[in-house]
Each structure stands twice: as structure tokens, then as C-alpha cells.
């Protein structure tokens, strides 16, 4: 089992460019999440999904869009990247019915917007 994988690992964008981050999980988890981690801020939830075809906004959704067309994949899109979106992005998944919602994280994508 690969667990949660993220593509790409690193990316540098210019302001205004667009890109898509891909997250895949092979644990048959219902829930998937996208977080960003910034120094001194911890992990902040961008968007999440409770099942295939459903998405919802988290704490910091502005400037991002997501799609969950397949249960195992969760895509995060930046339509027009801004320097404020420079961050490390983590995808996570968790199973339906867990008592405390243990989340399994991918290795992260380091994004720099110039």
C-alpha cells in the first residue's frame, strides 16, 4: 500500500499561472482533505470531501478549487496563483466511521509563487 501520494513534490509558479495538485489514496477512505502549512500557522484546512462527487470549503478556501471525480483522487487547483499561496500543501484522508478521525497524510507539495 502506497497510502497517500501527492504529485508533484515541488513546483515554482509565476504570479497568474495556474496548476493542479493531485492527491491519490489507496486505502478506500471516504474523506479527503487539502491543508496548507505556513510557518507559525500550523495546518489550515482549504477544502475537504466526504465522498466521491462532493466537496466543501474549509478555513481558507479563497483562490482554490477542488474536485473529487473518483473516490481515490482529490485534486486541488489554483486558477491564478499569487505569492500569498506560497506554502507547503498536504493532502490527507480518513475513513468513514472512525471514532476520532485519524487522518493519513501525504508527503506534501512545496509550492513557490514568484
User: Which parts of this chain interact with other proteins (CB under 8 A)?
Assistant: 4, 31, 35, 40-45, 48, 50, 56, 90, 92, 94, 99-108
CB-wise, 7 or 15, nearer to other proteins? 7
CB-wise, 17 or 30, nearer to other proteins? 30
Instruction: Give the number of other CB atoms < 10 A from CB of residue 108.
Output: 17
CB-wise, 1 or 99, nearer to other proteins? 99
Q: What is the smallest separation between the CB atom of 16 and other proteins, expressed in angstroms?
A: 28
| Owner of C-alpha cell 509563487 | 113
Residues 6+ apart with CB under 8 A from 69: 52, 53, 75
Q: What is the smallest separation between the CB atom of 77 and other proteins, expressed in angstroms?
A: 20
CB-wise, 85 or 106, nearer to other proteins? 106
Q: What is the smallest separation between the CB atom of 79 and other proteins, expressed in angstroms?
A: 25
CA distance 49 to 91: 11
Closest CA to 38 of 83, 85, 1, 106: 85
Cα first-last separation, the chain: 36
Q: What is the smallest separation between the CB atom of 97 and other proteins, expressed in angstroms?
A: 11
Amino acid at each position: 500500500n502506497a497510502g497517500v501520494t501527492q504529485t508533484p513534490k515541488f513546483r515554482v509558479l509565476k504570479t497568474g499561472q495556474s496548476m493542479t495538485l493531485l492527491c491519490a489514496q489507496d486505502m478506500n477512505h471516504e474523506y479527503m482533505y487539502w491543508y496548507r502549512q505556513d510557518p507559525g500557522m500550523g495546518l489550515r484546512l482549504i477544502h475537504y470531501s466526504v465522498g466521491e462527487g462532493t466537496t466543501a470549503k474549509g478555513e481558507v478556501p479563497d483562490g482554490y478549487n477542488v474536485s473529487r471525480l473518483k473516490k481515490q483522487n482529490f485534486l486541488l487547483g489554483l486558477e491564478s496563483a499569487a505569492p500569498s499561496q506560497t506554502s507547503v500543501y498536504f493532502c490527507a484522508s480518513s475513513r468513514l466511521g472512525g471514532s476520532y478521525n485519524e487522518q493519513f497524510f501525504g508527503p506534501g507539495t512545496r509550492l513557490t509563487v514568484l
